[in-house]
Amino acid sequence: MAVFEARGLSVRYGAVLANSDVDVSLESGQVHGVIGPNGAGKSTFIDALSGRKRPSAGQVVLDGEDITGRSVRWRRSHGISRSFQRTSIFSSMTVGRQLEMVARRNDEPDLAGIIDTLGLGEVVDRVCGEIAYGTQRSVDLAIALIGRPRVVLLDEPCAGLVADEAVRMLQHVRELCRERNVAALLVEHDVDGVFRTCDVITVLDLGKVLSSGAPDQVRADPNVIRAYLGSAA
Partner 1 sequence: MTATTLPEVSQSNAEVPAGRRSRRGLVFGLTVAVVVAAVGYAVPYVIKDTYTMSLAVEAALLGLLALGIGFLARHLGLISLGHTSFFGGAAYAVGVGVNHYGWSMTQSFAFGVLVGTALSLVMGVLVVRASGMGFLMLTLALSQALYQLCVQTSFRPLTGAYDGLLISFRPDDTFAGVNASDLQNPGLFWPIVWIVLIVCVVAVWLLGRSPFGTILEGVRENEERMRFSNYNTFRPRLAAFVLSGLVASLGGALFALNGAYVSPDILGFSRAGDSLIAAMVGGLGSLIGPLLGTGLYVWGEAHLNTGGNLHLYTGIALIVVLVFLPGGVTGTLQRIWRRLRKERPGMGGRR
Residues near partner 1 (CB under 8 A): 50, 72-73, 76-77, 81-82, 84, 88-94, 96-98, 101-102, 104-106, 124-125, 127, 129, 143, 146-147
Which one, 51 or 207, has the nearer CB to partner 1?
51
Taking the complex as a whole, the smallest distance from the CB of residue 90 to partner 1 amounts, in Å, to 4
Q: Alpha helix locations (H) across 4-132?
A: 42-50, 72-77, 95-105, 111-117
Closest CA to 156 of 118, 181, 202, 191: 191
Which one, 75 or 211, has the nearer CB to partner 1?
75
Taking the complex as a whole, the smallest distance from the CB of residue 129 to partner 1 amounts, in Å, to 8
Which one, 2 or 93, has the nearer CB to partner 1?
93
What spatial distance separates the first Cα and last Cα of the chain, rounded to whole Å? 36
CB atoms within 10 A of CB 126: 15
Which one, 20 or 81, has the nearer CB to partner 1?
81
Give backbone dihedrals phi and psi of 102, rounded to 5 degrees, phi first. -70, -35
CB 201 within 8 A of CB 195: yes
Q: How far, in whole angstroms, is CA 86 from its chain's centroid? A: 12
Which one, 3 or 144, has the nearer CB to partner 1?
144
Which one, 125 or 164, has the nearer CB to partner 1?
125
DSSP state of 109: T
Taking the complex as a whole, the smallest distance from the CB of residue 75 to partner 1 amounts, in Å, to 9
Closest CA to 175 of 99, 119, 98, 97: 119
Taking the complex as a whole, the smallest distance from the CB of residue 192 to partner 1 amounts, in Å, to 29
CB 184 within 8 A of CB 36: no
Taking the complex as a whole, the smallest distance from the CB of residue 195 to partner 1 amounts, in Å, to 29
Taking the complex as a whole, the smallest distance from the CB of residue 63 to partner 1 amounts, in Å, to 18
